[in-house]
Amino acid sequence: MLVRLGDLILSLLAWVGEVALFGGRALYEAIVPPYEFKEIWRHVFEIGWRSVPLIALSGFAIGVVLSMHTRASLERFGAEAMIPAGLAIALIRETGPLTAGLLMSGRVGAGIGAELGAMKVTEQIDALEAVAVDSFKFLAVTRILACIIAMPLLTAIIDFCGIFGGYVAETTISSMSAQLYFHRAFSIVEFSDFLPATLKTMVFGFIIGTVSSYLGFKTTQGTEGVGRTSTSSVVLSSICIILINVVLVKLIFFVFPVRA
């Protein structure tokens, strides 16, 4: 039993090490020419722009739900006026970034894993190498960078749509004007609430891109393997995001103690 547990821990550490080396290599390759700007931009569009409807709709729904919950709690203390600010702080500091990360690990992680996995098992990655193209740089680095670029932008969108959703929920119950709602929402939100929480999603993007690209490159066993890669990309990048988020939140509180 102990031996099995030990083996499991060792294989887990080995996996984490391999993924970390893969990600480290990607960051190094990203700063070494030649640069694949066109390909990066294409992936930012595919990963970022095409995710906007999902992110916006989810943000709106989360805002509505958060508003209802916040009202239920604050009403008891007669503090309904704090609803917009409470909702904005919750969304901007944590709910928005984490939800965006998890949604993107589902949509983008699965997509990258499946696409690269299919390319691997059909020898398309070998074909890229055969035409003298660095497949790692062309396929993995570009996708990882696109995830890093897209994540903060999508987080800003989910934050805004969430606050807007909160406003829509609030106006159906109270007669609060839009001007008053948004004034109250942003009255206690500061730049140091928004910036670290939004920028930390670049790390989420790095995790999504790295984990799913790594699994795609390691895919074997045909279409069954591609399916497994797709699922694993979502599961593993989601777990990594949730765990790394703990460290990042602690770090943010350490750097910005006044926000704690």
Report the residue number, 110 or 169, with the smaller CB distance to other proteins: 110
Q: Which of the stretches 5-13, 51-59, 118-126, 144-152 binds other proteins when contact is defined by CB under 8 A?
A: 118-126
Give the binding range for other proteins (CB under 8 A) out of 3-11, 132-140, 212-220, 230-238: 132-140
Residue type, 242: I
Are 120 and 217 spatial neighbours (Cβ–Cβ below 8 Å)? yes
Choice from 129, 177, 187, 220 touching other proteins (CB under 8 A): 129
Residue 21 binding other proteins, by CB under 8 A: no
**Token digits of residue 108:** 């983008």
Site string for other proteins, 190-209 (x = CB under 8 A): --------------------
Among 134, 182, 235, 259, interactor with other proteins by CB under 8 A? 134
Q: How many Cα atoms sit within 13 Å of 69 on the Cβ side?
A: 10
132 binds other proteins (CB under 8 A): yes
Residue holding tokens 């990258």?
Answer: 112
Of the listed pieces 17-25, 113-121, 200-208, 211-219, which binds other proteins according to CB under 8 A?
A: 113-121
The reply on whether position 124 binds other proteins by CB under 8 A is: yes
Residue 196: half-sphere exposure toward Cβ, Cα within 13 Å = 21
Stretch of 59-67, 85-93, 100-108, 124-132 contacting other proteins, by CB under 8 A:
124-132
Enumerate helices (H) and strands (E) in the chain, giving the number of each: 12, 0
For the chain, report the end-to-end CA distance as a whole number of angstroms. Answer: 42
- Cα dihedral value 212, 214, 219, 225, nearest 10: -30
Rule CB under 8 A: is residue 30 a binding residue for other proteins? Answer: no
Report how far residue 217's alpha carbon sits from residue 28's, in angstroms, rounded to the nearest whole number.
Answer: 18
Give the residue from 202, 144, 162 showing the smallest Cα distance to 55: 162
Residues 6+ apart with CB under 8 A from 74: 80, 82, 83, 86
CB under 8 A: which stretch of 81-89, 127-135, 147-155, 165-173 binds other proteins?
A: 127-135
In the complex with other proteins, which residue's Cβ is closer, 138 or 160? Answer: 138
Least Cβ distance, residue 183 to other proteins (angstroms)? 48
Cβ closest to other proteins, residue 75 vs residue 123: 123
- Looking at residue 75, the DSSP 8-state letter turns out to be G
Query: Binder to other proteins among 7, 18, 126, 224 (CB under 8 A)?
Result: 126
> Would you tell me which residues interact with other proteins (CB under 8 A)?
115, 118-119, 122-124, 126-134
